[in-house]
Amino acid sequence: MSGGVPKASVIVPCWNVEEWVEDAISSVLRGTFKDFEIVAVDDGSTDGTGAVLDRLAISDARVRVIHQRNRGLSGARNSGLDAAQGEYIFFLDGDDTFAPNFLELGVEEMEQTGADCCIFPMRITDLGTHESRLEPLRADYHFDTSKAIRDFFLSRYIGYSMDHVRRWYAGTPLFDNRELGSVCRCVYRRALMEKHNLRFDERIVLYEDAPFNCEYLLLSQKTTCRSEPVYNYVLHVGGLIANRNRLVRVFRNKVTLLRWRQDINRRAGGTLGGAYAASCVFALLEMFALLRNVPIGWLEGRRIVREYAADSEVRAAVREFPLSWRKPVLALAVLALRVFGAGFIYDVCWTLFAPFRRRM
């Protein structure tokens, strides 16, 4: 560290990752770049995570530990951001690892280009199948105007447009237009975050990364990228209870994400609405698809679906959604929404699925 202030801060949110967190922290400590601090946040863990972090902090002064009540992933990252001192911000989840040269390459690219953000490819390992794959970048992200960033970078995080759907009908895979939202594959400038008081939205309980990236890119003037896959993401296998609880969170999170998209669109002068219009339709259809398995009560489920479906932006998206008989199931579903409305479809689905539902 030069003058006691590190060049980079690595924020590590940790919740019940006792089995993996030492490998995660060690992957940074063993790296080729040395001018950094690690801010590890024990987010109310109930296993030995906190003790492992305290031991690592004793053995290396570059590791600082924050213990707090459980606030979720966004809350843990926000605590790390509040405590961070480095010029550049990196994120590392407590069960993943950095490649040895991640910090070195990230700082080097940011210093040489003067960019506000740098994005890398990443590797994903599935513990269920024991397979590893490369998650490449979908495009070249060397942009030096806010408009280009908004049109060609931010838009890949915020959702699907109607043009994405039309290209999908023509044979382009739908996800080819999207970028995996992980903040852990990016480098950020702390000064930009502090200038605009940018933090993770703790109301969003799933898919927190993409909204944060959109907020950050909306403020950015220049972006860059590298070709090296320097972040190692581990995909864990969840149990039955964990998966059922996740379904509930997915279901409830739909309205929160809709409101967040509408808010950032307003702040962008109404220029982003088209970038996520098709996602409004996909989200509504996904909510119907979840009805059979999500353990949520009738009144609460009905309230959430009706709130989403009654939104004027969602209703407009359903009317404008392009149809193609190459996707007959999707076309019939959208036609049903247009003709009968979401409330009627919800009542029919509930009646059909009620005998099969498992209740908590």
Contact 20, 54 (CB under 8 A): no
Q: What is the pLDDT of residues 35-61, one digit of tens each?
A: 999 999 999 999 999 999 999 999 999
> Hey, how many other C-beta atoms are within 10 angstroms of the C-beta on 173?
9
The pLDDT of residue 111: 98
Block residue for tokens 């513990």: 127
**Amino acid identity at 315:** R
The angle, 0 to 180 degrees and rounded to 10, between the axes of the packed helices 240-267 and 298-310 is 30
pLDDT band at 243 (very low <50, low <70, confident <90, very high): low
Q: What is the pLDDT of residues 86-108, one digit of tens each?
A: 999 999 999 999 999 999 999 99
Domains and CATH numbers, the chain: 8-137+179-235 (3.90.550.10), 240-356 (no CATH)
The pLDDT of residue 197: 97
Is the pLDDT assigned to residue 246 strictly greater than 80? Answer: no
Is the pLDDT assigned to residue 302 strictly greater than 90? Answer: no
Contact 275, 177 (CB under 8 A): no
Contact 105, 226 (CB under 8 A): yes
| HEC-encoded secondary structure of 152-212 | HHHHHHHCCCHHHHHHHHCCCCHHHHCCCCCHHHEEEEHHHHHHCCCCCCCCCCCCCHHHH
Best CA proximity match to 277, nearest among 332, 323, 314: 314
Rounded CA separation 96/123 (Å): 10
Q: What is the DSSP letter of 56?
A: H
Provide the mean pLDDT of the chain: 91
Rounded CA separation 254/205 (Å): 10
Is the pLDDT assigned to residue 355 strictly greater than 60? Answer: no
Rounded CA separation 91/231 (Å): 10
Rounded CA separation 66/50 (Å): 9
The pLDDT of residue 251: 85
The pLDDT of residue 300: 79
Q: How far from each other are the two terminal CA atoms of the chain, in whole angstroms? A: 52
Q: 265: Cβ–Cβ under 8 A, 6 or more apart, which residues?
A: 271, 272, 273, 276
Q: What is the pLDDT of residues 164-208, one digit of tens each?
A: 999 999 999 998 889 999 999 999 999 999 999 999 999 998 889
**Percent of the chain whose predicted confidence (pLDDT) is above 90:** 76
The pLDDT of residue 360: 41
Q: What is the pLDDT of residues 206-237, one digit of tens each?
A: 889 999 999 999 999 999 999 999 999 998 86
Is the pLDDT assigned to residue 263 strictly greater than 60? Answer: yes
50-35-37 Cα angle (round to 5): 20
Beta bridge partners of 188: 89, 117
